[in-house]
Amino acid sequence: MSLIKSKKRVADHGEVFTPPWLVEQMLDLVKGESERIDSRFLEPACGSGNFLVPILKRKLAAVEAKFSKSEFEKQHYALLGLMCTYGIELLADNIAECRANMLAVFADYLNLDEGDDFYRAASFVLSQNLIHGDAMTMKDMDAKPILVVEWGYLGKGKFQRRDFRLDVLTGMASFSAEGSLFAHLGKHEIFKPATAYPPMTVRELAGAGDASGEAA
Ligand SMILES: C[S@@+](CC[C@H](N)C(=O)[O-])C[C@H]1O[C@@H](n2cnc3c(N)ncnc32)[C@H](O)[C@@H]1O
């Protein structure tokens, strides 16, 4: 397995992929979190998913251990696991590969075809969670602030979505630091979503991808 695509890309973008054995050792350092379905992981230089794919696999193994007896729960919690993985990547081919690699693992686990609602919903989620942008400036390729989607599972097939600006989320620590002008503000005053959506079913998420034209 090659860990580089070209010398030029290494020089221009520091593109050297992490070998699988090292990824597994690093994930074992946070074993409990990596095996929890709803723990959130953001890879700010995700490449084609050398970390995100094994994280998704660990989450799906947790889904299998907990929900394999109910197809309904298994499918919905598998989607929740996918919803809790995030990436940012500068290069268009890498982010496209990353979305495709994640979707292939998810579809393989649930035995999905391209037309299935869960496949289309997963494709939409990946188009939102795996962002083509610059993690340093926290802007996407249209120079707009990167938005991070907070997904939640409400049960009974319904998902919640709230969008937050990444620059606001990462600024939280300094807002609440002692001596900060904003230290007197409650977290709820800073921690406001840019957009909050009504609860959505998997079918609605699948349709959202068709409507926006954004799918992995
Ligand atoms: C060292 S590689 C690591 C890839 C992957 N995380 C892995 O471990 O295999 C760094 C990746 O970050 C991307 N990258 C470089 N600068 C970036 C930036 N400012 N924002 C987002 N991604 C960036 C590169 O294109 C490359 O895919």
The pLDDT of residue 168 is 86
Q: How many residues does the chain have?
A: 216
Residue 176 domain-assigned (yes or no): yes
Between the CA of 4 and the centroid of ligand 1 the distance, in Å, is 12
- DSSP per-residue codes, 67-79: HTT-HHHHHHHHH
Which domain does 76 fall in, by range? 19-212
Residue 50 domain-assigned (yes or no): yes
Per-residue model confidence as pLDDT tens digits over 93-110: 999 999 999 999 999 999
The pLDDT of residue 15 is 87
Residue 13 domain-assigned (yes or no): no
Give me the percent of the chain exceeding a pLDDT of 90: 78
DSSP state of 200: B
The pLDDT mean for the chain works out to 92
pLDDT band at 193 (very low <50, low <70, confident <90, very high): very high
The pLDDT of residue 186 is 60
Q: To 5 degrees, how large is the angle CA 109–CA 110–CA 115? A: 125
Residue 3 domain-assigned (yes or no): no
Residue 14 domain-assigned (yes or no): no
What the block records as the tokens of 161 is 């979505």
Residue 100 domain-assigned (yes or no): yes
Pocket probe mutation, ligand 1, options 13, 18, 42, 136, max atoms within 8 Å of Cβ? 13
Residue 6 domain-assigned (yes or no): no
Residue 11 domain-assigned (yes or no): no
Between the CA of 16 and the centroid of ligand 1 the distance, in Å, is 8
Cα–Cα distance measured from residue 23 to residue 104, given in angstroms and rounded to the nearest whole number? 19
Question: For the whole model, what pTM was predicted?
Answer: 0.92
Give yes or no for residue 36 having a pLDDT over 80.
Answer: yes
Amino acid (one-letter) located at 75: Q
pLDDT band at 23 (very low <50, low <70, confident <90, very high): very high
Three-class secondary structure of residue 215 per DSSP:
coil
Per-residue model confidence as pLDDT tens digits over 168-191: 888 766 666 666 666 666 666 567
Around ligand 1, the residues with Cβ closer than 6 Å are 13-18, 43, 45-47, 50-51, 88-91, 94, 134-136
Amino acid (one-letter) located at 103: L
Between the CA of 45 and the centroid of ligand 1 the distance, in Å, is 4
Between the CA of 91 and the centroid of ligand 1 the distance, in Å, is 8
- DSSP per-residue codes, 10-24: HHHH---PPPHHHHH
Name the nearest CA neighbour of 20 among 61, 60, 57: 57
Cα–Cα distance measured from residue 78 to residue 59, given in angstroms and rounded to the nearest whole number? 8
Cα–Cα distance measured from residue 59 to residue 22, given in angstroms and rounded to the nearest whole number? 18
Cα–Cα distance measured from residue 12 to residue 52, given in angstroms and rounded to the nearest whole number? 23
The answer to whether 162 and 155 are in contact (CB under 8 A) is no
Number of domains in the chain: 1
Per-residue model confidence as pLDDT tens digits over 68-94: 999 999 999 999 999 999 999 999 999
Per-residue model confidence as pLDDT tens digits over 111-154: 999 999 999 999 999 999 999 999 999 999 999 999 999 999 99
